[in-house]
Amino acid sequence: MSNGVTEDTKEKARQEIANLVEKYRNLFDTDKKKYTEAQTRRVFIEPLFSALGWDIYGGEEVVEEVKAVAGRVDYVFKLHGVSQFYLEAKPLRAELTKPEYIKQAVTYAYNKGITWAVLTNFEGLRIYNAQTGRPFITLSCDNYLTSFDDLWLLSRESFEQNALNERAEKYGALPLRLGIEQRLFNQLRQWREALFTQLHRYNRHLNYSQIDEIIERFFNRLIFIRTCEDRRIEDRILLGSTHEWRSSGHKGELVEIIRRIFRDFDGYYDSDLFAFHLTDNVFIESSTLENIIMGLYEIPGGMANYDFSLIDADVLGTVYEQYLGHVATVVKQRAREAQARMDLGFPSEPTFELTAKKQRRKEQGIYYTPRFVTDYIVKETIGRFLKERSHNEIVNVKILDPACGSGSFLIRAYDELLNYHAEAKGKPVSQLDQWERMPILTGNIYGVDLDMQAIEIARLNLLLRSLARRETLPSLADNIRCGNSLISGTEDDMKRYFGKNWQEKKPFNWKQEFPNIMAKDGFDIVIGNPPYVGFHGFMEQKQYLKELYKSAQGKFDVYLPFIERGVELLRKGGLLGFICPTNFMKRQHGQALRKFLKTDYKILQVVDFQHQQIFDGALNYTCIFILQKAKPTPTHIITYTPERIDGEGFPVRQDTLQDDGWVFRDRTHEQIVAKIETRPNIPLGELTESISEGIVTGKNSVFLLPMDIASKLKLEKDLLKPAIQGKQIQRYYHEPAEYVIIYPYQSKDNHTNLVLEHDLANLFPITWDYLCSRKQNLKGRQYFDKSAKTWYELWCERTFGQQATNKIIVPELASSNRFAHCDKSIFYLDTVCGIIPKNKSHRTYLYLLGLLNSSLLEFYYKQTTVPKAGGFYIYKTMFLKKLPIRHIDFDNPADKKIHDDLVALVEKMLKLNKRLAPIRNTPCNERDELLREINRTDKEIDNLVYDLYRLTKEERKIIEED
């Protein structure tokens, strides 16, 4: 929005608020005292925020909260579906400084994970940072106009611009936020460490896995009880029992009292959660247990209370996702403490701490899915099913998440079904009783996960969602199962693939585990976030997956077989909705999956997040992928939406998708790409001897040395080659090589041969001594030790023919086309791709450089290749070889003239960059003039390339704007 429009909007709001202030001032004091909260909201507060640009009555931006539980905040203000702040309204003459009012607002906002809470009676207005409990801005209606910029921070427009957060950061009022997820996790982590140490001390017969299981069951029970308390289903029994124990002078052990509560809950709810378990036989010190129980009521610092009736399953899911990513490890004790115990004759007691074990997180693909993603997938699968199917089909629907984790998708699926049944019965969800809720949970919702801890959490989350009153709860053991969704077979099969410990793989036979569902051809809906761990993340299962899944080809990731398994488990007409990486759509390893999906399934929607990072700590391009198990018609249309869920999508015919890669383009871009491809072109791969990736040493710390270090070591120069890295390559030039690579090879008869140990020792003694001194460092190179290579070899040396020649080089990963000429004296490393034309004439290099660096071929490359995270593109053989190089008919005067002009301009560009090199980083007039001349020359080259491919003025504009 322009400044002019912004000022007009602000001025209009100022006038409306001035009228409200005047209206308030005209009230008599007796009238002000009579105003109820409802009147204050209707007459003053709602018009105030309407003037600030919020759609008060539309139902989407401002949601009025029902005060079913005391202390609920009145309004939730949302932008694009995301909560921005909470507002607690009070009557005109209410005292806003009352601690209970402040705590109500802050507690609600904090438990919902929102930063800002607003407390107002119109007469005054206070903005609190709910993460700290401190006020940030305090206003009264007397200074609404004089401090209008402060009030404007609560406008819709300001939240679009993130103005409130920016103001708070500027004044240090928005420190690094420690939201409810992190606070609760930090406490659980501390308690888990303390419990682990104690349980190990008092129960030496238990292994670490059993102790972890006990602790998790213990926490799950406490969270269930606290939720019952805060929903007013149970009295505050944990707090009351702890107070009674304190009042008795700490008589007896607190753990015995808590065990009795567990037994009572087992009797009331008859759930697996409270069934007799190892948890009921272990001793916990009373002081530790007291700290845990009290810590589940008051947030550290006392600025708010935990309210488990408000804490979303997403918050608990995020907490538990972190919980599962940590393992207990023994802390090495200080030598003095250990020695002291030994001197006294006591054994040294180990203590434990939780450490982040990212490998476990990565191996299992545990990435908690953001709420907006689960909402969208559920809406586009289950929501679609509810609209299109009969009531009887809906009552019997079977919904599966085959990698359910802590249950985020299943909870949203359950919510969607509850909403449907409540609407069908003509009452709100809150009035559905337990007997109406439970058949939905046990009859419609199913999940599988490899991690038993995650399964326990998913069951807990679903039970909490279904809990309405003190009634018997079902067992979810038949619904939420532990196992490997991808692995099944006979015992002999499992032993053949996985050996005698095959049961550790947790094979899961779908027909045995869900016999009734599979007898009816499977599930109606499959949703989820399958794990993606990279090609090297599941080595023990790789051979099995390759033999059992047609999608498991090349450098595949485990999510590809998950998609294949997901569609196999669907009934005819069923729907699948996954969030997964996009690289299967364009990479070679996804070709088999692409083929059978395109042929046998209707792809309904693809939401491509592109450079938007959806998961913390997981750098991937991801998409939401919705399909139906039905044969596509020849004219079937996919809706493709780039970047945002709420973005503007466009139609793509499914039959236009190519087997060698799926590219989704709108009609305009599709036409330009098609026009480029219809010119008399030759693929770059047909014009080159090779397009190859660079040298991989396998141990850069040994083989790659700064030039000055190599000089000091006096290594023999015949084995040293200047080496260029991708980051040093720019358009039309590369920076000087800063490193040399030890290249223990020689060229003979066009072959690249390793220098043998005897020759290396005799002819290159200093280099030989250097390598021998680092022999230990060269051990353990991935794949190397199992290969036939000699210990001092490079992992992938390439050839002299690829390296010691004139070539065009490009960074393997770049945000734009950056091609440069590189002479034969310089070798290139694995962050570079090298191109060697068949025609070695200088003019050929110049012509190719001009085309490859042009805006047109950059546009084409980005339209036809797969991006990586962070806005980068991969420049590798598989993509580069397809670039359409315009064939020049030298008998055609027009063609020849454009070619010659283009070559001359590229020659000029190289000379300009050579002149610029010594002063590139030196601000001066000469540098600025050279940069201007380079830009002018660049535009001239672009225009000639546009002419070659015969693009119109409008088409050129589209490319330039992209």
Alpha helices in 789-854 (DSSP H): 800-803, 842-852
Q: Is residue 547 part of a domain?
A: yes
Mean pLDDT of 880-900: 96
Instruction: Write down the pLDDT at residue 517.
Output: 97
Mean pLDDT of 100-120: 85
* Residues 153 and 235 reside in one and the same domain: no
Instruction: Please tell me the number of Cα atoms within 13 Å of 31 on its side-chain side.
Output: 9
On whether the CB atoms of residues 691 and 685 are closer than 8 A, the answer is yes
* Residues 660 and 637 reside in one and the same domain: yes
The CATH number of whichever domain residue 875 belongs to comes to 3.90.220
Q: Whole-prediction pTM value?
A: 0.71
* Residues 147 and 252 reside in one and the same domain: no
Instruction: Write down the pLDDT at residue 400.
Output: 98
Instruction: Show the CA angle centred on residue 514, arms to residues 511 and 519, nearest 5°.
Output: 60
Q: Is residue 382 part of a domain?
A: yes
Please write the tens of the pLDDT for every residue from 205-227.
888 889 989 998 999 999 999 88
Residue 346 has pLDDT above 60, yes or no: no
The pLDDT-based confidence of 367 (bands split at 50, 70, 90) is low
Please write the tens of the pLDDT for every residue from 298-312.
776 655 677 787 777
Q: Is residue 935 part of a domain?
A: no
Residue 824 has pLDDT above 80, yes or no: yes
Instruction: Write down the pLDDT at residue 288.
Output: 92
Instruction: Write down the pLDDT at residue 516.
Output: 96
Please state which of the ranges 268-272, 383-387, 423-427, 871-875 shows the lowest mean pLDDT: 268-272
Choosing from 881, 913, 942, the residue where a domain stops is 881
Please write the tens of the pLDDT for every residue from 532-549.
877 555 677 888 999 999
DSSP 583: G
DSSP H or E run through 435: helix 434-444
The pLDDT-based confidence of 962 (bands split at 50, 70, 90) is confident
The pLDDT-based confidence of 297 (bands split at 50, 70, 90) is confident
Instruction: Write down the pLDDT at residue 536.
Output: 57
* Residues 419 and 304 reside in one and the same domain: no
* Residues 84 and 201 reside in one and the same domain: no
On whether the CB atoms of residues 693 and 783 are closer than 8 A, the answer is no
The pLDDT-based confidence of 19 (bands split at 50, 70, 90) is very high
Mean pLDDT of 941-960: 96
How many domains, in total, are found in the chain? 4
Mean pLDDT of 943-962: 94
Q: Is residue 934 part of a domain?
A: no
Instruction: Write down the pLDDT at residue 856.
Output: 97
The CATH number of whichever domain residue 660 belongs to comes to 3.40.50.150
More confident residue, 729 or 589: 729
On whether the CB atoms of residues 488 and 507 are closer than 8 A, the answer is yes
Going from the C-alpha of 61 to that of each of 56, 74, 168, 363, 592, the distances in angstroms are 7, 14, 23, 40, 44
Share of the chain above pLDDT 90, in %: 57
Sequential DSSP letters for 773-790: HTTTTTTT-TTTTTSS--
Mean pLDDT of 629-650: 91
CA distance 629 to 563: 12
Q: Is residue 887 part of a domain?
A: no
Q: Is residue 922 part of a domain?
A: no
Q: Is residue 925 part of a domain?
A: no
For residue 216, what are the domain limits? 180-311
Choosing from 112, 136, 170, the residue where a domain stops is 170
Instruction: Write down the pLDDT at residue 344.
Output: 43
Amino acid (one-letter) located at 840 = K
* Residues 716 and 864 reside in one and the same domain: yes
The pLDDT-based confidence of 234 (bands split at 50, 70, 90) is confident
For the record, the structure tokens of 951 come out as: 């693009």
Scored b (16 or more CB within 10 A) or e, 144-179 reads beeebebbbbbbbbbbeeebbbebbeeeebbeeeeb
Please state which of the ranges 618-627, 646-655, 845-854, 917-926 shows the lowest mean pLDDT: 618-627
CA distance 886 to 893: 15
Instruction: Write down the pLDDT at residue 351.
Output: 58
Residue 343 has pLDDT above 70, yes or no: no
Please write the tens of the pLDDT for every residue from 38-90.
899 999 999 999 999 999 887 788 887 654 444 444 788 988 777 889 999 99
* Residues 199 and 153 reside in one and the same domain: no
Q: Is residue 142 part of a domain?
A: yes
Residue 314 has pLDDT above 80, yes or no: no
Mean pLDDT of 774-786: 78
Instruction: Write down the pLDDT at residue 538.
Output: 67
CA distance 828 to 146: 65
On whether the CB atoms of residues 312 and 112 are closer than 8 A, the answer is yes
CA distance 386 to 389: 6
Instruction: Write down the pLDDT at residue 352.
Output: 55
Residues 6+ apart with CB under 8 A from 863: 663, 665, 669, 672, 673
Mean pLDDT of 764-784: 87
CA distance 612 to 731: 27
Choosing from 881, 916, 942, the residue where a domain stops is 881
The pLDDT-based confidence of 667 (bands split at 50, 70, 90) is confident
DSSP 830: T
* Residues 503 and 603 reside in one and the same domain: yes
Cα radius of gyration rounded to whole Å, the chain: 33
Instruction: Write down the pLDDT at residue 304.
Output: 64
* Residues 84 and 194 reside in one and the same domain: no
Instruction: Write down the pLDDT at residue 60.
Output: 80
Please state which of the ranges 655-664, 834-843, 953-962 shows the lowest mean pLDDT: 655-664
Residue 141 has pLDDT above 90, yes or no: yes
Instruction: Write down the pLDDT at residue 389.
Output: 96
Please write the tens of the pLDDT for every residue from 238-265.
988 888 898 888 888 999 999 999 999 9
Beta-strand relationship, 602-608 and 570-581: unpaired
Residue 178 has pLDDT above 60, yes or no: no
CA distance 846 to 914: 15
* Residues 785 and 834 reside in one and the same domain: yes
The pLDDT-based confidence of 527 (bands split at 50, 70, 90) is very high
CA distance 524 to 533: 27
On whether the CB atoms of residues 120 and 144 are closer than 8 A, the answer is no
The chain-wide mean pLDDT, for the chain, equals: 87
The pLDDT-based confidence of 333 (bands split at 50, 70, 90) is very low
501's torsion region: left (phi>0), alpha (psi -120 to 50) or beta?
alpha
Instruction: Write down the pLDDT at residue 301.
Output: 65
Instruction: Write down the pLDDT at residue 785.
Output: 67
The CATH number of whichever domain residue 147 belongs to comes to 3.90.1570.30
* Residues 763 and 721 reside in one and the same domain: yes
* Residues 472 and 552 reside in one and the same domain: yes
